[in-house]
Amino acid sequence: MAQTKPKNKILILGSGLVAKPCVDYLLRNPHNQLSIGTRDPPTLDPLIASHDVVVSLVPFIHHPAVIRSAVKGRTHVVTTSYASPAIRELDAAARDAGITVLNEVGVDPGVDHLYAVKTIGEVHERGGRGSGGDNPLRFKFSWSPRGVLLSQYNPATFYQDGERVHIPNTELTARATPYYVMDGYSFVAYPNRDSTPFREFYNIPEAKTVIRGSLRYKGDPALVRALISLGWLDSSEKEWLEEVVTWAEVQQRATGAASSAEEDLVRRADELCTFTDDAERTEILDGLRWMGCVASVHGNLVDTLSVRLEKLCSFEPGERDLVMLQHKFVVRWKDGSEETIMSTLELLGEPGGYSAMSKSVGVTCGIATQVLLDGFGPLNQPGVVVPYTKEICDP
């Protein structure tokens, strides 16, 4: 009698907006057996230990706890998040346990690595070298509103013409500048986190300018900058939030305005915010009014704002989201000539189906998990693994 191949036991932690495409992809394989789990600490260790791999789709701050449990249970880990310093600190423990901790297999980070590694490799092989919405937020949420907001409140570091440039988190959105991708889109771009390690990660030590950035529609960074100035991205607990009833009262307490009357709130916004011109001031004040009247409070300001925006900026039936990703490489060839090489991903969601964000994060995560389970060599190595090499990116 032929033996039945044992099931791959896969634990998915998190059931948010990107989980379904990952689950659907993994269920294509009849040898996969999936469980949806919790990150509750008392049950985490035995839950993870009873599986072959855990896919962590919970907020990134919880990944180290998941990995520590996986080390105890000798269970592989897959995340779509950056391999943060807290994750990299667990590299030795993962190696000792003989498990793979695979990270950065979403869209950003993830798909962005694939064509960067591919194009840079092709250029080097040829002897070339690197050179030089419909609401005031212009955004609707196909992933965590809190994550979207806080992603625009990170400091950024990059190389510009050979110089290391650092942008404090409070100034990040002020650095947004127009960026042309293709006709029909009015994008601005600003630096994203720390780009400097990618000169080494991508093996381009000769590059003088290395910037990874984020794209938003024109108007979004200006409104987010105002929200930061008004204190809305504060994650510290505020006991007084339990006492307020209206959104205006929250804004009054958050900003220290004289009262919750509109004229006092506007006066305080004028004191705290920096507007480039009268038109931008009008747009931002209209955006603040658009946020509404009744406040549903959630312990701190950023969570209160996130819940409010999730309601205001949700997709209507038939609407679809957009993921836009572009690489731009300036290459100097051996004969001294220069060439700009570009690759662009324009991915639209499916009305009534997968969003572009969930597809580009969830499906890619599912593929990477399946490749790991299938025992593919370059991925099947103990320790913290990231897709920065041709051997990993090609498959």
Catalytic residue among 24, 40, 52, 108: 108
| Contact of 353 with 340, CB cutoff 8 Å | no
For residues 10 and 57, what is the distance between their CA atoms, to the nearest angstrom? 13
CB atoms within 10 A of CB 210: 18
Q: Does residue 108 have an active-site annotation? A: yes
| Catalytic positions, written as ranges | 108
